[in-house]
Amino acid sequence: MRWLRAMVRVFGWLLTPFLAWAASFFGAVVGALLAMRVREPRNGILVTAVVGGVVSFIAIHLWLRFLRRHRQVREALAVSPEGTPLIVEEGSGDESDKSRRPGRSGR
């Protein structure tokens, strides 16, 4: 079960960049379909790039907004509200607690 938790955590960490990549790809496809109607090739490439960037920006904005509102999803994917990975120590934490207490030496 521990490997399943690790796989879900890695999936959660990679979900935000994958979503940005997929949104830009599909936005560029839509932009290319629109660019077929443009006569000048440079303007067609510009339309493709702009539509891809705008769709990617909108998708990431909506995804991060979703993450900020749904704490359970963030906890399941082990990400912060900004979509960045949370680094969690899976040990018991006794050693780190002892080292942080004032007045104790790390002998």
Query: pLDDT, tens digit, for every residue of 46-57?
Result: 999 999 999 999
Q: How high is the pLDDT of residue 29?
A: 94
Residue 97 lies in a domain: no
pLDDT tens-place string over residues 10-63: 887 788 788 888 999 999 999 999 999 999 999 999 999 999 999 999 998 998
Residue 34 lies in a domain: yes
Give me the number of domains the chain comprises: 1
Residue 8 lies in a domain: yes
What CA–CA distance (Å, rounded) separates 62 from 106? 47
pLDDT at 92 exceeding the cut of 50: no
Q: How high is the pLDDT of residue 31?
A: 93
Residue 96 CB-density burial (10 A; 0-12 exposed, 13-18 middle, 19+ buried):
exposed
Residue 96 lies in a domain: no
Residue 31 lies in a domain: yes
Q: Which residues of 58-75 are buried (b: 16+ CB within 10 A; e: fewer)?
A: ebbeebeeebeeeeeebe
Residue 11: domain span: 2-84
